[in-house]
Structure 1
């Protein structure tokens, strides 16, 4: 057994630092009796209330965004384009709406299950490279919104996987975010093929 990340890992103030430190950690799911796991290779940080790319920009509170205002260490899952379930990690203390989008993972365990869920015949990076793809492969849906990452359904482990070098670049699909679209708050493991884009 590998240790789950502690609550204190998620409750820190620096969402960019946490985003980087999630690289190399292992996202694990045990859903419908099926176990899958992947190494986190790509993340994006969202730092509301000032971040114009965040769903919680300007402290916006709706039924969907209310999860942001919980204490860190829970999952935030939302539906994008009515198709893709996107998995985020809520961080920081209560009422500080920070979150990290998990954009890609490298398949590690339960790969056959992932391929079945994704209806894939061939193993390639499209299996889990991209936030919608990884959620489908790992079985994550909106049913897992607000799930505590300390539980035994969706969690993140530290397996002491070394990360040699991290690339920092701009986030994807946020052209509406004015000056915040240029923030280098997307991070990925340099040289890893399991990322959504270079």
Structure 2
């Protein structure tokens, strides 16, 4: 796995995200999600991601085309796509691939490593292993929608972190898509660290990840 950026404290550049979504989703495992909130730096290692790729992906919001809600997905790679779901959860996604092709990676779980006391206080001592939980822990809301995550002066960005070997990463179907038809329901587009403690939902049937999996659909 080639590293685009090796140093800490520098946001991953746009070229990191302007690649096939499955590759980005895999390489974000172990990266550092950084949030500046009320002057405090909060950091979590990304431990679980899911890929959503194009209008043909019937689990992807872009299946309905360009709308005010999905507009960030059609925009430049490296921007945040944040939406509200289940009546009380904000979901953080990172836009990928070429501008005009709607694709993104959902950040599903983090392991707090800096500003842990603040993160835990915001979660009332509970975990951050779920997409709605991590946004609550980091104070991420609609205000961060379409924020450029590649800018150094941003209040939200992702930087290089730990290199997680393939043997320590598992892939499997995305979760919470019960109404999505096949083959999209079973696409192995979810990546997680092989440790149930730091994944939002563990699937015992998953197999260790050995490659980047299927490539993005032809555009």
Normalised by the length of structure 2, the TM-score is 0.83
1:68-87 superposed Cα distances (whole Å, 9 cap, x missing partner): 11011000111111200110
Name the structure 2 match of 1:77: 82
SS of the aligned residue for 1:94 comes to coil
User: Which residue does 1:123 correspond to in 2?
Assistant: none
Cα displacement (A) at 1:51: 0.3
Match of 2:177 among 174, 177, 182: 174
Is 1:188–2:158 an aligned residue pair? no
Unaligned stretches of 5+ residues in structure 2: 1-7, 203-219
Distance 1:101 1:61 in 2: 19
The answer as to whether partners of 2:90 and 2:141 remain within 8 angstroms in 1 is: yes
Structure 2 match to 1:41: 47
TM-score using structure 1 length:
0.92
Deviating beyond 4 angstroms after TM superposition, the runs of 4 or more aligned structure 1 residues are none
Local SS of the residue matching 2:121:
helix
2:24 corresponds to: 18
Gaps of at least 5 residues in structure 1 are: 121-125
1:57 CA displacement: 1.0
* Secondary structure in structure 2 of the residue aligned to 1:177: coil
Alignment of 1:12-161 (within 5 A): 12=19, 14-57=20-63, 60-120=65-125, 126-151=126-151, 152-161=154-163
**1: CA distance, partners of 2:58 / 2:107:** 19
Q: SS where residue 56 of structure 1 aligns?
A: helix
1:20-43, CA deviations, whole angstroms, 9 ceiling, x for partnerless residues? 110000100002212100000000
